[in-house]
Amino acid sequence: MLTKRIIPCLDVKDGRTVKGINFKELRDAGDPVALGALYAQQGADELVFLDISATDEERKTFAELVKEIAAECTIPFTVGGGIKIIQDVERLLKAGADKVTINSSAVKNPDLINQLAREFGSQCIVLAIDARNVGDYWLVHTHGGKKETEKELFSWAREGELRGAGEILFTSMNHDGTKNGFAINALKELSKTVTVPIIASGGAGQMSHFVDVFKEGNADAALAASVFHFGEISLPDLKAYLRKNDVEVRD
């Protein structure tokens, strides 16, 4: 059995790590390079850095910051935000990123997934999906959660896999920042829909939520932000807790 991964996520705006609730009410959480290096030392398996306003502001992702991160962080990391063409990915990988995540641009132009998978390999391409539960559907949103689309979570995830995405990063907008637990039922369904690894995001508030997301939600990795940024859960304590609850994690 593959070990489960713990992934701190650093949402970056104007060069600073920020965190909000339901994609709103952002507050400062510190320097992204220093935080990333700290998490690497504490036992994080991977990191995700998202330039959360890049698409909305129609600019490129932070290549210079990626170089700084690569110089300080000793573990694999993924970056995203504002990626639209092959050259964007090429620039980020050259700067030191291990993987990239695409979201709004893939919804607008699904063939971008195929292009990037062919050029760089599926292992480099993470399809990020921000979705909100609306009635009986999980509707995909773009532009940092600001724009609702007609795409539905499960069919879009399946299409993304078929087009070449190597992982699915699903963020429940309903759960984001609430600390009430992950979207377990949606994750269960998602795990039946795709065969690539699933990264669960949105809702982590206590260590038991991570046990739930792995044992009940069938996630391959769990991503969280504020509980790490504001010292509510330490990575060493979390990994020890998961082992005690029979969840296999890396040292």
- Active-site positions? 11, 130
Phi, psi (5° rounding) for residue 72? -105, -25
The answer to whether 213 and 184 have CB atoms below 8 angstroms apart is yes
Rounded Cα–Cα distance for residues 246 and 251 (Å): 14
- 202 by DSSP, 3-state: which? coil
**Residue owning tokens 């963020």:** 171
Q: Which residues pair with 11 in a beta bridge?
A: 18, 50
DSSP designation for 122? G
One-letter amino acid identity for 32?
A: P
Contact 54, 61 (CB under 8 A): yes
How long is the chain? Answer: 251
Q: How far is CA 178 from the centre of its chain?
A: 17
Closest CA to 49 of 225, 237, 248, 245: 225
> Rounded CA gap, 97 and 93, in Å?
5
